[in-house]
């Protein structure tokens, strides 16, 4: 988290404070960029562009919202601009762990993470992006709508449908597991025998 002192120093033009801001936020900025553009090299370009925009826009940041929310909006905007220029659809990378409550056994953690990753990858790119921005990065539906240039109601509908579909996919995965399907072997959950 960026402290108010670091933000104030950045606004005064202190280069060491901006270095601290970059150091403390880079992992989150880069991770979001990778998820939005689906490519590590493009994500580096997005992160660089986002930090340039942050640097230029700090004077205008009124601190009515959290700095991190403002920062995520800038990263999202930079990613959308890159994707528009290249004519690509938004793809969300799933190469990092999600913050989910840990079950009792490590094998369940891996199975749950894998099930969630498979379910997320089955969503449409637009649904995946809305879920990431809302549920992982905490942007409001209004902020997401502003970034995509669509109505807030459209974001809410997309988010509702995405969550409903995710639930269905996860339940289907659980059914596959119980029936001995390919999703996750029963042994991974500590069950023996016929399952």
Does residue 72 surpass a pLDDT of 70?
Answer: yes
Note the pLDDT tens digit of each residue in 10-22.
Answer: 999 999 999 999 9
- Quote the mean pLDDT of the chain: 75
Tell me: domain 97-195, CATH 1.10.10.10, correct? Answer: yes
Token output for 119: 């379910």
Query: What's the CATH number for 1-94?
Result: 1.10.1740.10
Give CA–CA dist 77/138, Å, rounded.
15
Q: What is the dihedral of CA 64, 162, 95, 181, to 10 degrees?
A: 150
| Mean predicted confidence (pLDDT) in 88-97 | 35
Does residue 190 surpass a pLDDT of 70?
Answer: no
Burial string for 120-134 (b: 16+ CB within 10 Å, else e) reads: beebeebbbbbbbbb
Q: What number of helices (H) and strands (E) belong to the chain?
A: 8, 0
Q: Do the Cβ atoms of 35 and 132 come closer than 8 Å?
A: yes
Give CA–CA dist 80/49, Å, rounded.
12
Please report the pLDDT score of residue 173 as a whole number.
75
Please report the pLDDT score of residue 108 as a whole number.
44
Give the best-scoring range by mean pLDDT among 22-26, 115-119, 177-181, 183-187.
22-26
Does residue 44 surpass a pLDDT of 80?
Answer: yes
Please report the pLDDT score of residue 20 as a whole number.
95
Please report the pLDDT score of residue 48 as a whole number.
96
Q: Where are the domains of the chain?
A: 1-94, 97-195
Q: Which one has a higher pLDDT value, 83 or 106?
A: 83
Please report the pLDDT score of residue 180 as a whole number.
41
Instruction: For the beta carbon of residue 95, count every other beta carbon within 10 angstroms.
Output: 10
Please report the pLDDT score of residue 29 as a whole number.
94
Nearest to 107 by CA among 175, 177, 170, 187: 187
Half-sphere exposure of 78 (CA within 13 A, CB side): 25
Please report the pLDDT score of residue 43 as a whole number.
92
| Mean predicted confidence (pLDDT) in 34-52 | 90
Does residue 117 surpass a pLDDT of 70?
Answer: yes
Share of the chain above pLDDT 90, in %: 26
């Amino acid at each position: 988290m960026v402290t108010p002192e670091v933000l104030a120093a950045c606004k005064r033009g202190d280069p060491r404070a901006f270095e601290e801001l970059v150091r403390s936020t880079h992992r989150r900025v880069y991770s979001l960029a990778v998820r939005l553009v689906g490519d590590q090299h493009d994500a580096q370009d997005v992160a660089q562009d986002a930090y340039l925009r942050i640097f230029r826009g700090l004077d205008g940041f009124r601190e009515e919202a959290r700095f991190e929310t403002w920062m995520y909006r800038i990263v999202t905007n930079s990613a959308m601009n890159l994707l528009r220029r290249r004519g690509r659809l938004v793809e969300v990378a799933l190469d990092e762990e999600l913050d989910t409550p840990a079950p009792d056994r490590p094998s369940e953690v891996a199975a749950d993470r894998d099930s969630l990753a498979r379910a997320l990858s089955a969503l449409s790119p637009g649904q995946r992006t809305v879920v990431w921005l809302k549920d992982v990065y905490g942007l409001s539906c209004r902020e997401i709508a502003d970034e995509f240039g669509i109505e807030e109601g459209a974001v809410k509908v997309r988010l509702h449908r995405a969550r409903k579909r995710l639930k269905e996919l996860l339940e289907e995965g659980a059914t596959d597991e119980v029936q001995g399907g390919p999703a996750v072997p029963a042994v991974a959950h500590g069950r023996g025998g016929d399952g």
